[in-house]
């Protein structure tokens, strides 16, 4: 068991059988009364964010979370198969754990997987990825970058909004957190 003095950003706590990551914390010592620690916690699995306050010196349970580099290999129908770059072991991760990251995964892409006691918790992608547009309606003469957007299907099958002047076969940079178009890749 640890105490509230061990709370830092990024530490994972076990609360009521669920894992919560500390997004931010603040140690508060008011002029009157005892000190306390105010935290903002994010559920590792669901992504739900809550505020929680602890009295200074209260006992908390810190979980060991190992973030390791993996290479995405393929989707076998039951899950996504990744290879550990350190020891070449393969790990199958369920679609529920991968979540929206599946929209941006290409074979041989490097990702980080957070593991707790050998169980995958979540996947961290790079902030942006470069993907090719496999289909979009052709642009018309006179279309400009500020005129509007149109739907485009990426090589992973995910659909995003892109400027009217982009054509099929263009490589674009996409934000993996929001799914937004960031620009053309040279």
Q: What is the pLDDT along the chain (186 residues), one digit of tens a residue?
A: 788 888 988 888 999 888 898 989 999 999 888 999 999 998 887 778 999 999 988 999 998 888 899 999 999 888 999 999 999 999 999 888 888 888 999 899 999 998 888 888 888 888 899 999 999 888 665 555 556 788 999 999 999 998 888 889 999 999 988 889 998 887
Q: In 3-state terms, what secondary structure has residue 101?
A: helix
pLDDT at 165 (0 to 100)? 83
71 bridge partner residues = 83, 110
Alpha-carbon torsion 166, 169, 175, 178, what sign?
positive
Please state the pTM of the whole predicted model: 0.73
Q: Which pLDDT belongs to residue 65?
A: 85
Amino acid 64: pLDDT: 87
State residue 46 phi and psi, 5-degree precision: -90, -20
Query: Please, how many CA atoms are within 13 Å of residue 168, restricted to the half-sphere of its CB?
Result: 6
What is the rounded radius of gyration, in angstroms, for the C-alpha atoms of the chain?
Answer: 21
Q: How many CA atoms lie less than 13 Å away from 20 in the CB half-sphere? A: 23
């Amino acid at each position: 068991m640890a105490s509230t003095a061990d709370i830092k950003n990024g530490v994972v706590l076990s609360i009521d059988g669920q894992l919560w990551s500390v997004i931010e914390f603040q140690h508060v010592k008011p002029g009157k009364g005892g000190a306390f620690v105010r935290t903002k916690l994010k559920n590792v699995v669901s992504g739900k964010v809550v505020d929680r306050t602890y009295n200074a010196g209260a006992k908390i349970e810190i979980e060991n979370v190992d973030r390791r580099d993996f290479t995405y290999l393929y989707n076998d129908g039951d899950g996504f198969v990744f290879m550990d770059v350190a020891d070449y072991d393969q790990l199958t991760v369920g679609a529920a754990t991968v979540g929206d990251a599946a929209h941006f995964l290409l074979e041989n892409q490097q990702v980080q997987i957070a593991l707790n006691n050998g169980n995958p918790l979540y996947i961290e992608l790079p902030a942006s990825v470069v993907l090719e547009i496999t289909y979009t309606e052709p642009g018309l003469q006179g279309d400009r970058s500020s005129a509007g957007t149109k739907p485009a299907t990426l090589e992973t099958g995910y659909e995003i909004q892109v400027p009217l002047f982009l054509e099929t076969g263009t490589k674009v940079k996409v934000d993996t957190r929001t799914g937004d178009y960031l620009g053309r890749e040279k």
